[in-house]
Structure 1
Amino acid sequence: MEKLTIKLTDIRQSFGAKEVLAIKELSAYENDRIGIIGGNGQGKSTLLKIIHGDLRPEGTVQRETEFNYFPQIAEVNEFFNVDELDWELVGQFAIPKNEVQTLSGGEISKFRLAQVLSVYQMGLLLDEPTTHLDQTSVKKLVEELRYYYGTLLFVSHDRYFLNQLANKIWEVQDGTVIEYEGNYDDYKQQKELEEIEHEHAVENYLQEKKHLETAIAKKKEQAAKASKVSSKKKQQSIRPDRLSSSKQKDTVQKSMQKSAKSMEARLSKLQEVTPNQKATKIVFPTPKSVEIHNKFPIRGENLKLNAGDKVLLKQTDFQFGLGKKIAITGENGSGKTTLLDYIVNDKKGVVLSPKVVFSVYRQMDYKLFGEDTILSFLMKLTEYPESLVRSILHNLGFMQLELSKPLSGLSGGEATRLSIALLFTSHDPYFVKEIADEVYMIKKEQLQAVSKENI
């Protein structure tokens, strides 16, 4: 018999006026490997916090084991679990033995993961553990977790990570959690079948609705014609042998009216099936003040890149085309963020078009603190009018009530949506293939153009 590790019953969790989660019943058992997915702000991180005990919602939380927890947003504490730290794991993750403050974003993530994984519990909660990790590190984390024999629950957008580890998927959407058997690919197949069935249901509903509306209109038209004929006959002198014919027309008219009312009743009881909403493509208008006509507005000429005594890039030339989406990839610590800092700050070896203006989303920018609201935060950083900012926020999934939410209360995904970058780096191969026009990799102290098919 499966051993229960966590059970949630009649859970309700709200933040202000917004109800984030409303779960009737949800359980996990020993040896479950559950990937938790869903849109930003849907409640994935909130669900982990409830399971860990950081939040106390309405309802019942039956916790049968202790859970280790890797939060998505946290400051690194180099003394956490210092006596139990698994130095072999630290070595496998290739974490430099430097001061913590000198580590890159990916190296900090790996250090925090090593701290959590060094102490074994029968429950393990991971919130976006692959954020900032290169593909080599993701694969090492997967191999480490293959030997974990407890209850593993993890939030992730990384398809490879989900496919390698999950045997169940929890989809968090509109406050509810739906469980699917299998990994992410299995989930996608089930969702595609659900979508096909839903499309058929929508088509059947629309056809039935149209059929009833047409039939009702026809019956009403026939009844109206019969009524006119009957009224006309009544106004005329009717011979006795024609009286029965007039009465028959009255009967036909009433029958048609009754039939129309019956169909109207069927129409009112017809359960409406609406098409699933499609994701809205967001277009950010370019202000006239920053329109650029240079074919290659960002170039590198004999650029050298160092971090202290470490050489990251030798003499390198590159040119980034106007309107192109450029992905810069490479292993943790290879110099991706440093290269972007060089470009943004127009350092030696970088040649920028005079009209280049950068909007920057940095690797750790989702760690937002303070009591500024979402709206006031953006209005301080934009030249767009408030009406357009509100519209953009709405398209990004922020409801009107949420615009007064403080930065300190945002999830990692919500915070990420507040910043838009013109340049980006990514370790997610799917993201790179879908978004980037051109891909460059920092490898062996060189910036090399690579095919998207080879990443």
Structure 2
Amino acid sequence: MVLIHLQDIQFDVKDRTLFTIDNLSIHQGNRIGLVGRNGSGKTSLLHLLAKEAAPSAGTVITHSSVSLLPQLKPKTAAKSGGEISQAVIDEALSRETDVLLADEPTTHLDTGNVEKLEQQLRQRREAMIIVSHDRAFLDALCTQIWEIEDGSVHVYPGNYTDYEQQKEKARNHREKEYEKYLKTKKHLEEAIRQKEQKAHKAVKKPKNTSKSEAKITGAKPYFAKKQKKLNQDVKSIQTRLEQLEEVEKIKELPPVKMQVVQEESLQNRTIIRGEKVRGYAGSRLLWEEFDFSIAGGDKVALIGRNGSGKTTFLRRILDEAEGIHVAPPVSIGYFSQMLEVLDVQRSILDNVRSTSSQEQTLIRTVLGRLGFFQDDVFKPVAVLSGGERVKAALAKLFVSDVNVLLLDEPTNYLDINALEALESLFTGYSGTVLFVSHDRRFLENTTTRIFAIDNKSIHTFEGSYQAYLHAEPDQEHEPLEDELLKVETNISDVLSRLSMKPSAELDEEFQRLLRQKKELKKQLEEKVKHEY
């Protein structure tokens, strides 16, 4: 059953056509994921379907009730972004409707509430169109993907992973078509070259032709005819070459390798450590005392429910609060949703260059990765959308003269293309990153360590997010083994500090830890012998 039908649609914004749709329908039971770059028209299409906006041309025929869950949530001082989002979602889902339109419903939700929303939506009967940058969310719910690209809406069956595979297959096909085009073009150009050479030679009498033979065969007319025939062949091949349908080469993104200040002196060494760090929000305890260390090059994800203290943890490090020790060569860049790093009166390029000693080529490459091409970089920040400002702020931080990035929810308001670009920047960044994100696919693709805040405690996990999800619950450890692990961690920490700033006190501490390690190993060996 057709619930909404779109016919000959054109949607304009000012003097620009945002998208066109020839013929498209939403049927009962459809679960559609709507994707596209920031500014491509996803929210506008939802407003069109909800009859909150009118097309510039064409017809929207609706045979159903429609409910829109908007992207922009109401702001109140008393509640967090996650709490506000959850309240709006609960209110929207309390209404019965035939078509649910959800615009970035997972924004500000923690992972637990995203998974809860997945379960709620799975159990509902209405057709859905969901705009989301959360690829795992789209995978869990969608049976069809609509992509707005180059002003048109393209339909792909399956979930987001199926869509990715279809796009990759199309890309591979286009690459083969490009190779075929180049091969054919080269063959025709070579054929023209050879024919032209033969035509040039055809006017000359062969050296082994005698005067009597030439008189009998009529050499000049013969070679003139031959030249004419060859010239005709050249024109024929040139026509084929001109009619050859050109296939454009797919643009390959250049690899991004950023030079990080003090990179060699920090790599794989403890650069930030915390001793008995406790978190509070006013008088409310967020987490109990916690010891930790972060090494140069770590990509640490800080996860936990909304209100658990993730932002507070980042701010404690940024402020070098009590119990936090930061190595002297460390320089920190901080990203928050307030985007304080941007001067809205200056251009994107000026903002990014103002704190960077990187080469212009690298700066433009990073900006290009995040969707700012050619003259886009000269736009003043004041005219950018929220998502574009986030990308500009991230570009500025990644190329700035810092070596540690603290990123508080950098994935909010980014489209999927920008998320994948940010993942690529993580890969090419040799500095250290501690970041907060609820995007599960992003966590899977970027994380090397996990700090998880749960039940007023912070637990650390060495490994990827996938490994963390599938890890067995902690078994009871041998106390001596736990103590030995702690001592070995302290030895690594002291060694790192000795290499940065030697002192007699640190050297004495190092020797004491070595003796302690030796004694603990001896005790463990004796215990094993006794047990056997």
Answer yes or no: is the 8 Å Cα contact 2:36–2:148 preserved in 1. yes
**1:63 Cα deviation after fit:** 4.8
3-state SS of paired residue (2:278): strand
User: SS at the partner of 1:42?
Assistant: coil
1:419 corresponds to 2:396: no
Task: Find out whether 1:254 has 2:252 as its counterpart.
Answer: no
2:348 alignment counterpart: 375
Structure 2 partner of 1:167: 143
Distance 1:413 1:61 in 2: 30
Contact 1:6 1:51 in 2 (8 A): no
Q: Partners of 2:339 and 2:18 in 1: how far apart?
A: 20
Task: Please point out which of 205, 214, 218 is paired with 2:194.
Answer: 218
Instruction: Give, in whole Å, the separation in 1 of the partners of 2:292 and 2:18.
Output: 46
Gaps spanning 5+ residues in structure 1: where? 77-99
Q: How does 1:198-347 map to 2 (within 5 A)?
A: 198-229=174-205, 241-242=215-216, 244-286=218-260, 293-294=265-266, 295-347=269-321
Amino acid at match of 2:131: V
- Paired with 2:153 and 2:108, the residues of 1 have a C-alpha distance of 27
Q: Is the 8 A contact 1:68 1:124 kept in 2?
A: yes
Mapped to 2, the partners of 1:376 and 1:63 lie a distance apart of 45
Amino acid at match of 2:158: G
Q: Which residue of 1 aligns with 2:458?
A: 446
Q: Distance between the aligned counterparts of 2:226 and 2:199, measured in 1?
A: 8
Residue-by-residue CA offset, 1:253-284 (whole Å, 9 max, x unaligned) = 11111111111111111111123233454455
Matched residue type, 1:326: V
Select between 384-393 and 258-267 the one with higher mean Cα deviation.
Answer: 384-393
Identity %: 33
2:12 corresponds in structure 1 to: 13
- Per-residue displacement from partner, 1:336-389 (whole Å, max 9, x unpaired)? 222112112222222123443333222x34799997475388369745699676
Aligned partner of residue 251 in structure 2, secondary structure? coil
The yes-or-no answer on 1:114 pairing with 2:114 is: no
Counterpart residue type for residue 433 of structure 1: E
Q: 3-state DSSP class of the match of 1:189?
A: helix
Alignment of 1:63-102 (within 5 A): 63-64=61-62, 65-76=64-75, 101-102=77-78
d(CA) in 1 for partners of 2:344 and 2:51? 24
Query: Is the CA contact (8 Å cut-off) linking 1:373 and 1:403 kept in structure 2?
Result: no
- CA offsets, 1:283-332, max 9 Å, x none? 5554x6x7783433322111001223433221111121123222112233
Please report the TM-score for the alignment, with normalisation by the length of structure 2.
0.70
Distance 2:382 2:86 in 1: 24
Deviates more, 1:432-441 or 1:390-399: 390-399
Q: CA deviation at 1:160?
A: 2.2
| Shift in Å, 1:233 | 11
Task: Name the CA distance, whole Å, in 2 between partners of 1:436 and 1:394.
Answer: 24
CA contact (8 A) 2:8 2:57 kept: yes
Residue identity matched to 2:22: K
Q: Which amino acid aligns with 1:203?
A: E
Q: Structure 2: any 5+ residue segments left out of the alignment?
A: 398-404, 407-434, 470-532
Match of residue 93 from structure 1: none
Instruction: Quote the Cα distance in structure 2 between the aligned partners of 1:116 and 1:409.
Output: 32
- Structure 1 residues 138 and 51 mapped into 2: Cα distance closer, same or farther (>3 Å)? same
TM-score by length of 1: 0.81
Q: What is the Cα deviation at residue 134 of structure 1?
A: 2.8
Q: Which has the higher helix share?
A: 2
The one-letter code of the counterpart of 1:334 is S
CA contact (8 A) 1:233 1:246 kept: no
Alpha-carbon contact 1:301-1:318 (below 8 Å) kept: yes
Q: Secondary structure at the match of 1:101?
A: coil
Q: In structure 2, give the amino acid aligned to 1:24.
A: D
Residue 148 of structure 1 aligns with an amino acid whose one-letter code is R
**1:23-58 alpha-carbon deviations (Å, 9 max, x no partner):** 334332333211012333433233323334555452
- Partner of 2:10: helix, strand, or coil? strand
Paired with 2:221 and 2:306, the residues of 1 have a C-alpha distance of: 91
CA RMSD of aligned residues (A): 3.4
Matched with 2:32 is: 34
Asked whether the equivalents of residues 51 and 63 of structure 1 are also in contact (C-alpha less than 8 Å), the reply is no
**Residues 373 and 66 of structure 1: CA distance in aligned 2, closer, same or farther (over 3 Å):** farther
Paired amino acid for 1:68: S
Give aligned pairs, total: 425
1:155 aligns with 2:127: no
Letter in 2 for 1:415: R
Supply the AA of the counterpart residue of 1:454.
Y
Stretch moving more, 67-76 or 324-333: 67-76
Q: Partner amino acid for 1:325?
A: K
Q: Is the 8 A contact 1:14 1:21 kept in 2?
A: no
